[in-house]
Amino acid sequence: MTLEENKAIVRKVTEAENNKDFAVIGELISPIYVNQSNQIKGSEGYKQYLTKLFKAFPSWHETIEDMVAEGEKVCVRLTIDTGIHRGEFDLLGIRYRLRASGQRSSLFRFGVLLMARLWRLKESMTNLTC
C-alpha cells in the first residue's frame, strides 16, 4: 500500500469513529489488530472498546490536526472533544457530568490493506468541567 492509501485509512477510521459506523471500522481494522496501549485485540475487541467509550461519551469527536506517513506507519495528532460524560465516573461512587478536551498522538502500523497495530504516543486531556 502507498503512503497516501495508509493515510486515507486513518482518515476513514477516524471518520467512522466520529459517525459511530462500526461496519466501516470492521472493514478497516485487521482481525489481528493490537492496541499496544490498551491491550485491545482484533477488530471485534476494538469495536467492543468503542461501544463502552461511546456509551460513556456519546458526543466523542476526534479531529485530525497533523499526519505523517513513512513506510508502513502513519503518525497522527488528533484533537479530542469528549462531549459530556454520560457514564459512571467511578470516584468515590459519585456520578459526574464532565467534559474534557485534549490532544492525542498515535502511531499506526499497517498490514495487508488493514490497520494492524496502534501505539498511543502521548495523550493530554484538559479543560475538565462539571
CATH code for the domain of 115: 3.10.450.50
For residue 21, the model assigns a pLDDT of 95
- Contacts of 84-93 with C-beta under 8 Å, sequence gap 24+, read 84/57, 84/59, 85/56, 85/57, 86/55, 86/56, 86/57, 86/58, 87/55, 87/56, 87/57, 88/56
Q: What is the mean pLDDT of residues 1-25?
A: 92
Q: What is the mean pLDDT of residues 53-67?
A: 88
Give the chain's domain count.
1
- Structural domain of 88: 3-129
- How far, in Å, are 16, 84, 90, 94, 106 from residue 10 at the CA level? 10, 25, 32, 36, 10
For all residues of the chain together, what is the average pLDDT? 78
Q: What is the mean pLDDT of residues 98-116?
A: 72
pLDDT category at 98 given cuts 50, 70, 90 is low
Question: Which of 15-29, 70-84, 114-128 has the weakest average pLDDT?
Answer: 114-128
% pLDDT > 70, the chain: 75
